Chains A and B, each alone.
Chain A
Amino acid sequence: MGVLFIAGLYTGLVTSPPDYQQGDAMRIMYVHVPASWMALFVYAFLALMSLFSLVWRHPLAEVLAVSAAPIGALFTALSLVTGSLWGKPMWGAFWVWDGRLTSVLVLLFLYGGYWALYKAYSRPDQGIRAASLLALVGMINLPVIKGSVVWWNTLHQPASLTKFTAPSIHPTMLAPLLLMAGAYFFYFISVLILRTRTELYQRKLLVWGGII
């Protein structure tokens, strides 16, 4: 993961050409865009785990979901902050209340709400059920985020990567983008594993504590 991260940073900062319109500050895109992708991906992961824990009651699904939530919140916050930093020199505003920015903010609140609901119950098994339901209903936000740049002609750049025709982005820019995405992904996996392990240990401790 470290290798990918360094490779991504290097290509992003050094080798990719500065955008003809926006100059060097555009490079923050390499931090911002993959972070946004991860924010959405982790939420989808969270919702999927929530579904598993509700329907099939798989205990690992619960732990994975709870461990993934803070990471997703981190990515969302990163996306928002880097987006703001990018926005100021480029378009003159830290923040606009347009569709995409608002719905990503909503995503952050959804992560926060998930965590808050989980912690609000004195028994974690109750908390996880309520929080999982919330995560599932919150899925509605994902299409809103996706469609928000289409539905509102606003400040945010429209999608250039997910069109089914050839992506309209230059390969030298594509590579660092994908590298950073890969780096974030591996960061997510490693932190997820760490947190899951911790969570499992915590739960084991609770059980042992109960017996002793």
Chain B
Amino acid sequence: MLEGRNFSYTRGDDPLFSNLSFCLKEGEMLAVKGTNGSGKSTFLRLIAGLISPRPATLYWDNQALTSRNLRLYQQSLLYVGHKLCLHPEGSVKDQIRLWQGLYGLSQKVIYDALELWGVGAFHDKKISHLSEGQQKRLSLSRCSWLDRPLWILDEPQSGLDQTGKAILSQVLSQHKETGGYTVLATHDHIPGTVEILL
């Protein structure tokens, strides 16, 4: 269970949000909505532990997160932000090898995931030659080959075409059914989610 209490954040002089609290149980999805610049990405990054959430507290499995167990917490989450986390130079094959080295998975698992997301045919192409949608799908494919209970996704639908969005919702509902937690920032409405408006 993911619980957050008393989230407030001020970016410089600009207070983004204050006293935000939420509670997410297994199989639930939290949708964070708001206008551009309202702090959705910041909120997600706070939950991912990329920004230190002082003085707010985050509870994972009923344990308060401190700097000591933060690392352990981060191993249970998958963060897909605005930036694609794809190496700027290099081909898809290189990227796969980098991922293999980072996470110790077999090539087959990653390739199967790429097939699922419709980018399996591109493994010799340079990443910079792929279209933005294809790059986004490649970046999102991490959801399929990285097995983590908590997903934090920042506007996952942006840049995807209809097929891409369909694949995304299928993957998301599968994650929900297997009891995974999802926190995502979005402009669209997704049925069956708890919503926070920033």
Direct contact of A and B (CB under 8 A): yes
Q: Mark A43-83, 1 if CB is under 8 A from B, else 0.
A: 00000000000000000000000000000000000000000
Check if A143 is an interface residue, CB within 8 A of chain B: no
Q: How many angstroms from the CA of A122 to the CA of B12 in the assembled complex?
A: 9
Check if A125 is an interface residue, CB within 8 A of chain B: yes
Contact-residue bracket for chain A: under 10
Check if A210 is an interface residue, CB within 8 A of chain B: yes
Q: Mark A105-127, 1 if CB is under 8 A from B, else 0.
A: 00000000000000000110100
Q: How many angstroms from the CA of A123 to the CA of B12 in the assembled complex?
A: 6
With a cutoff of 8 Å between Cβ atoms, the chain B residues found around residue A206 in the complex are 13
With a cutoff of 8 Å between Cβ atoms, the chain A residues found around residue B13 in the complex are 206-207, 210
Secondary structure type dominating chain B contacts: loop
Residue of A nearest to B11 (CB): A123
Q: What's the nearest-Cβ distance from chain A to residue B15, in Å?
A: 9
Q: How many residues of B contact A (CB 8 A)?
A: 2
With a cutoff of 8 Å between Cβ atoms, the chain B residues found around residue A210 in the complex are 13
Q: How many angstroms from the CA of A122 to the CA of B13 in the assembled complex?
A: 11
Q: How many angstroms from the CA of A182 to the CA of B101 in the assembled complex?
A: 60
Q: What's the nearest-Cβ distance from chain A to residue B151, in Å?
A: 29
Q: How many angstroms from the CA of A23 to the CA of B12 in the assembled complex?
A: 58
With a cutoff of 8 Å between Cβ atoms, the chain B residues found around residue A125 in the complex are 12
Q: How many angstroms from the CA of A210 to the CA of B12 in the assembled complex?
A: 11
Q: What's the nearest-Cβ distance from chain A to residue B93, in Å?
A: 37
Q: How many angstroms from the CA of A123 to the CA of B14 in the assembled complex?
A: 11
With a cutoff of 8 Å between Cβ atoms, the chain A residues found around residue B12 in the complex are 122-123, 125
Q: What's the nearest-Cβ distance from chain B to residue A105, in Å?
A: 35
Residue of B nearest to A57 (CB): B54
Q: What's the nearest-Cβ distance from chain B to residue A158, in Å?
A: 47
Q: Mark A170-212, 1 if CB is under 8 A from B, else 0.
A: 0000000000000000000000000000000000001100100
Q: How many angstroms from the CA of A122 to the CA of B11 in the assembled complex?
A: 12
Q: What's the nearest-Cβ distance from chain A to residue B54, in Å?
A: 9
Q: How many angstroms from the CA of A62 to the CA of B135 in the assembled complex?
A: 43
With a cutoff of 8 Å between Cβ atoms, the chain B residues found around residue A207 in the complex are 13
Q: What's the nearest-Cβ distance from chain A to residue B34, in Å?
A: 21
Q: Mark B1-35, 1 if CB is under 8 A from A, else 0.
A: 00000000000110000000000000000000000
Residue of B nearest to A211 (CB): B13
Residue of B nearest to A210 (CB): B13
Q: Mark B69-106, 1 if CB is under 8 A from A, else 0.
A: 00000000000000000000000000000000000000
With a cutoff of 8 Å between Cβ atoms, the chain B residues found around residue A123 in the complex are 12
Q: How many angstroms from the CA of A191 to the CA of B85 in the assembled complex?
A: 48
Q: Which residues of B165-197 are within 8 A (CB) of A? A: none
Q: How many angstroms from the CA of A122 to the CA of B14 in the assembled complex?
A: 13
Q: How many angstroms from the CA of A54 to the CA of B12 in the assembled complex?
A: 17
Which of A122, A123, A207 has most B Cβ within 10 Å? Answer: A123
Residue of B nearest to A209 (CB): B13
Residue of A nearest to B15 (CB): A210
Q: How many angstroms from the CA of A146 to the CA of B166 in the assembled complex?
A: 68
Q: How many angstroms from the CA of A207 to the CA of B13 in the assembled complex?
A: 8
Q: Which residues of A109-165 are within 8 A (CB) of B? A: 122-123, 125
Residue of B nearest to A121 (CB): B12
* Chain B residues close to A by CB (< 8 Å): 12-13
Of all A-B residue pairs in the complex, the 6 with the closest CB atoms, nearest first, are: A123-B12, A210-B13, A206-B13, A125-B12, A207-B13, A122-B12
Q: List 6 A-B contacts (CB under 8 A).
A: A122-B12, A123-B12, A125-B12, A206-B13, A207-B13, A210-B13
